[in-house]
Amino acid sequence: MSMGGNATDPVILATAGYDHTIRFWQAHSGICHRTVQHNDSQVNALEITPDKGMIAVAGYQHIRMFDLNSMNPNPLINYDGISKNVTAVGFHNEMKWMYTGGEDNTARIWDLRTRNLQCQRIFQVNAPVNCVCLHPNQGELFVGDQSGSIHIWDLKTDNNEHLIPEPDAAIQSLSIDPMGTMMAAVNNKGKCYIWTMTGGRLDEPTQLHPKKKFNAHSKYALKCLFSPDSTLLATTSADQTCCIWRTADLSLMTKLRDQNQRWVWDCAFSGDSQYIITASSDNTARLWSVDGGDVKREYSGHQKAVVCLAFRDEVVS
Amino acid sequence: MAMMDNIDFLIAHIRHSFITSDDTSMCELIMECESSNNNNNNTQRAGYRGSTGAYLKRDMSDSGGSEGVEGMDSGDGDFLSHSHDILPDMDYGAHRRRSNTAQRLDIMRKDKQAKGKVKSIPWKDAPVTLTVEERASLFEKKEVAVITPDGDATEGETPKKVSKLSKLLEDFSKYGENPYMEYAKFDGRSCVTPTKKIDIFLTMAPPKERAYPMTVVVITTAKVQDLIGLICWQYTCEGREPKLQHGVNHYCLHIAEDDGEVDADFPSLDNREPVLKFGFGKLALVECTPTIIPKHSFVVTINVPNRGFNKFQVDSLNMPMRSILEKVINRRKIRTRPGLYYNLEKQSEPGVSIDLDANLAHMDTMEFCMVRENSTRGDREEAPHHNELSHVADSLTSHQYKSFMVMMVHRLRANTEVQLGVSGEKVEIDPVQVRSSIRLIRQKPVTHEADSIADCDLLEKKSNGRGVFRLTYLTEHNYKHHDFEADVGVAMEIVQKLKNILELRLSPARKEFITTQDRKLRKRDSLKYSI
């Protein structure tokens, strides 16, 4: 497989959702410069490959890879053979493999290398998988499911462990900070859990130590995400807001709300953690300043709810 | 080209060149007949299937080489020797235009072809045994780089990290905001939804450039107003000069000739109509002359109980009610404390709070009342105060002439419509001429001097909202009267007006009438008591 590694655009923003289209935006101007049709289903998750060559689109029964550096309206690769919705997708940082999670109660590893062996691995759990998060050490997958379990899958040793922070409260999202010292999880009761992490080197498995549990939102929480500098944690929710917390003391820094905004499904920080982009059910994605909490750009054009986004930024100095 | 050494390909290519460049379609007829004799349909289809199979196989092995060449090598000459753009219309006899079915098949085939180019990787459940080395190379845990926070002690001079996005945002803001940004979503250039391409002549451009239209691609669901916004947006984006100075309402679209001349015989396109309604491929953007600027502003009145009212001009009906409420609060500098909220009610529906997230357009009214949460208007206290004021005002203006249309009540015949003119000097009763009906008794216009008027009083309020009032006047030595009927409001106004006049003048006729009235009353009372 040849990956078009020569990415020209340093900043990539893509959004998708229920209107069966993926839109690519000029993040700084709010102009949509490309729309790709995703005909047969809604889009559940988006992820840009580490080399910025392609974007993975997780939908119903498929993961499709579209080229980022051409206007090709068709996917380049179609991963299929899955029975239900694919809810999560991500990549090994050297593009050795791709991981996905789905409503068929599995997390999977797909081999991305071209000429080599086929390596496809599967991890079965007992409930539909809502979210999958890869530890920055690239060796452990954290899988959150609808029954409220968080599974830790050590890919090399195949060992796995699981914990249940709150029974019968579906884990909606997991995030590990880029330094691998903290993990956050949010559930459908609006609660947020923070663990500190130790270990996770060589053959030593990661250990989780509960740090804090707090009510982040009054309703369903949908997504949590650490900022690239690990100082902030964003949580989004059905209460139509996105909250930004300081990781140092978990105090609320900003509450991002807009009178038109509805459920906030997804978010992404800029490379310098100064801005955050959110995706909402009001057919709009928004760029906010983290400090001011004000909307800097609106990305409007989708005809239905925007439920996922993929964003890539670079740090210049 | 890589395939020029393949005879089959070359023959097919020459064939297709003939067919596609021949307008008479005779070539197609002859050649297709010939080729369909050579290969029957079945083998053709089998070839197709075989070739997709080859694609799949190749996907798995993934050669990474040119797909086309490999396709040729696998011996699928049949499939490739047929153009994908040409379908022999075998089912319909040789000479027919291509039917909808054929076209649909064509689309399906193209679709399939596009899909053929998509590499498909199915999930394989077969367990793969990995060697220790493979396992190590694929899934080894890496060291996580420690990110040094800004202003690290060892490198005190490291500047604060800036991302590309922040830089772009900063650069972009130097150019200033595009005020027409909200219309960018109607841009169809990057859309997959149906769009319409329109050439727009810009009448505000310098004369040299006026002949060259700006091409705009608009999504078909947009309205004309949106199209104007989109044109303004694109104009600003392209950095055209002179810069647009006005809001979208200051421009309109006219039909234009091919050379860009504005067709002045037709009015501008209606802003509220969808773009799709108009079939024109060329339009001109024209600045509205001040007289034809469409009045798109609306006046909203917000009453505040016991504190008067505020009027606002609102540009769009899409304004959410919440921002109107905020406007009032800001204008009145009302301090909002947490826990103390204000609601809006329609003036006509007291006690029913409206949804603040709804737009003005959904309200069907422009008059609202601001009420504190968990509180009511209490405007009943206000009412008498208000009346007193208007009372004074009325009495001051009551000597001025005012005319009313009322029905005159006759004892024996049908009511007739008359114009009742009331002023400080006199009361005029002018019958309204009804041409069609023949009247035996012609009513004559009558004038009563104000000094001859003795009284005016409301006799009854009917259930149908009409009121009857009596005007009593003095002739020689008798009191006579006219009865009139009008809407209660009008009747009360006339009665009030006349009473004011009488009060101000206090004529002998009036005095005498009052005394006789009093006497009558007393007589009646004494009778009552004497019984």
The answer to whether residues B404 and B514 belong to one domain is yes
- Say how far apart CA A303 and CA A282 lie, in whole Å: 9
The answer to whether residues B519 and B442 belong to one domain is yes
The pLDDT tens digits of the residues spanning B340-377 come to 778 888 887 777 788 887 777 777 778 888 887 777 77
On the question of pLDDT at B243 being above 70, the answer is: yes
Last residue of a domain, one of B340, B358, B390: B390
On the question of pLDDT at B379 being above 60, the answer is: no
B36 contacts B90 by C-beta, under 8 angstroms: yes
CB contact under 8 A, B322 and A259: yes
The confidence band for B300, taking pLDDT boundaries of 50, 70 and 90, is confident
A chain contacts of residue B239, beta-carbon cutoff 8 Å: none
Mean of the per-residue pLDDT values of chain A: 90
The answer to whether residues B251 and B234 belong to one domain is yes
On the question of pLDDT at B43 being above 50, the answer is: no
The confidence band for B296, taking pLDDT boundaries of 50, 70 and 90, is low
The pLDDT tens digits of the residues spanning A17-30 come to 999 999 999 898 88
On the question of pLDDT at B75 being above 80, the answer is: no
Site of tokens 């109980």 = B305
The pLDDT tens digits of the residues spanning A237-282 come to 999 999 999 999 999 999 999 999 999 999 999 999 999 999 999 9
CB contact under 8 A, A114 and B64: yes
The amino acid sitting at A67 is D
A chain contacts of residue B121, beta-carbon cutoff 8 Å: 77-80, 110
A4 contacts A26 by C-beta, under 8 angstroms: no
Neighbouring residues of B466: CB distance < 8 A, sequence distance ≥ 6: B485, B486, B487, B488, B491
Nearest residue of chain B to residue A19 (CA atoms): B193
The answer to whether residues B187 and B281 belong to one domain is yes
Q: What is the pTM of this model?
A: 0.58
More confident residue, B232 or B84: B232
B269: left (phi over 0), alpha (psi -120 to 50) or beta: beta
> What is residue B57's predicted lDDT score, i.e. its pLDDT?
35
Question: Does residue B453 lie within any of the structural domains?
Answer: yes
Q: Nearest CB to B124: which of A120, A180, A203?
A: A120
Q: Assign residue B498 the CATH number of its domain.
A: 2.30.29.30
The confidence band for B434, taking pLDDT boundaries of 50, 70 and 90, is low
CB contact under 8 A, B143 and A201: yes
The mean-pLDDT minimum among A278-282, B95-99, B144-148, B282-286 falls in B95-99
> What is residue B66's predicted lDDT score, i.e. its pLDDT?
37
**A8 Cβ under 8 Å from any chain B Cβ:** no
Q: Nearest CB to A137: which of B123, B141, B191?
A: B141
Question: Does residue B477 lie within any of the structural domains?
Answer: yes
Question: Does residue B95 lie within any of the structural domains?
Answer: no
Neighbouring residues of A131: CB distance < 8 A, sequence distance ≥ 6: A87, A88, A101, A143, A144, A171, A172, A173, A174
- Say how far apart CA A62 and CA A79 lie, in whole Å: 6
On the question of pLDDT at A306 being above 90, the answer is: yes
Supply the Cα-derived Rg of chain B in whole angstroms: 44
CB contact under 8 A, A77 and B115: no
The answer to whether residues B250 and B315 belong to one domain is no
On the question of pLDDT at B182 being above 70, the answer is: yes
On the question of pLDDT at A82 being above 60, the answer is: yes
Nearest residue of chain B to residue A202 (CA atoms): B141
Nearest residue of chain B to residue A176 (CA atoms): B144
The answer to whether residues B409 and B386 belong to one domain is no
- Segment A175-195 shows an average pLDDT of 93
**How large is the ipTM?**
0.84
Question: Does residue B385 lie within any of the structural domains?
Answer: yes
The answer to whether residues B404 and B460 belong to one domain is yes
In chain A, what percentage of residues exceed pLDDT 90?
65
The pLDDT tens digits of the residues spanning B451-473 come to 888 888 888 888 888 888 888 88
The answer to whether residues B244 and B186 belong to one domain is yes
On the question of pLDDT at B84 being above 90, the answer is: no
Question: Does residue B425 lie within any of the structural domains?
Answer: yes
B321: left (phi over 0), alpha (psi -120 to 50) or beta: alpha
Report CA torsion sign: A5, A117, A88, A82: positive
Question: Does residue B340 lie within any of the structural domains?
Answer: yes
Chain B residues 406-435 with a CB less than 8 Å from chain A:
none
CB contact under 8 A, B163 and A274: yes
Question: Does residue B130 lie within any of the structural domains?
Answer: no
On the question of pLDDT at B287 being above 90, the answer is: no
- Segment A53-78 shows an average pLDDT of 91
- Segment B237-244 shows an average pLDDT of 80
The confidence band for B222, taking pLDDT boundaries of 50, 70 and 90, is confident
The mean-pLDDT minimum among A56-60, A242-246, B260-264, B445-449 falls in B260-264
Q: Assign residue B185 the CATH number of its domain.
A: 3.10.20.90
Show the domain range for B18: 1-82
CB contact under 8 A, B140 and A156: yes
Report CA torsion sign: B499, B503, B509, B511: positive
Mean of the per-residue pLDDT values of chain B: 73
**B76 Cβ under 8 Å from any chain A Cβ:** no
CB contact under 8 A, B193 and A136: no
Domains of chain B: total: 4
C-alpha closest to that of A133 among A250, A47, A202, A63: A47
On the question of pLDDT at B338 being above 50, the answer is: yes
- Segment B174-186 shows an average pLDDT of 79
- Segment A284-292 shows an average pLDDT of 93
> What is residue B64's predicted lDDT score, i.e. its pLDDT?
38
On the question of pLDDT at B447 being above 60, the answer is: yes
Q: Nearest CB to B159: which of A73, A135, A317?
A: A317
The confidence band for B325, taking pLDDT boundaries of 50, 70 and 90, is confident
> What is residue B519's predicted lDDT score, i.e. its pLDDT?
81
The amino acid sitting at B91 is D
The answer to whether residues B352 and B443 belong to one domain is no
**Torsion angles phi and psi, residue B466, rounded to 5:** -100, 155
> What is residue B364's predicted lDDT score, i.e. its pLDDT?
74
CB contact under 8 A, B142 and A114: no
Question: Does residue B122 lie within any of the structural domains?
Answer: no
Distance from CA of B242 to the nearest CA of A (A): 22
> What is residue B170's predicted lDDT score, i.e. its pLDDT?
86
> What is residue A239's predicted lDDT score, i.e. its pLDDT?
92
Site of tokens 């010939």 = B34
CB contact under 8 A, A315 and B161: yes
Distance from CA of B98 to the nearest CA of A (A): 27
The confidence band for B92, taking pLDDT boundaries of 50, 70 and 90, is very low
B283 contacts B199 by C-beta, under 8 angstroms: yes
> What is residue A178's predicted lDDT score, i.e. its pLDDT?
92
The pLDDT tens digits of the residues spanning B22-34 come to 777 777 777 766 6
On the question of pLDDT at A144 being above 90, the answer is: yes
Distance from CA of A160 to the nearest CA of B (A): 14
Q: If you count DSSP H runs as helices and E runs as strands, how many of each does chain A have, helices first?
A: 0, 28
> What is residue B429's predicted lDDT score, i.e. its pLDDT?
86
CB contact under 8 A, A315 and B136: no
More confident residue, B263 or A2: B263
Last residue of a domain, one of B334, B360, B390: B390
Identify the residue among A20, A22, A28, A304 best suited for mutation to test binding to B, counting B beta carbons within 10 A and taking the highest: A28
The answer to whether residues B213 and B242 belong to one domain is yes
Nearest residue of chain A to residue B171 (CA atoms): A28
Q: Nearest CB to B117: which of A74, A136, A259?
A: A74
The confidence band for B15, taking pLDDT boundaries of 50, 70 and 90, is confident
CB contact under 8 A, A121 and B149: no
Last residue of a domain, one of B233, B262, B287: B287
The answer to whether residues B319 and B371 belong to one domain is yes
On the question of pLDDT at A134 being above 50, the answer is: yes
Chain A residues 43-102 with a CB less than 8 Å from chain B:
73-82, 96-97
The answer to whether residues B268 and B190 belong to one domain is yes
- Segment A165-193 shows an average pLDDT of 93
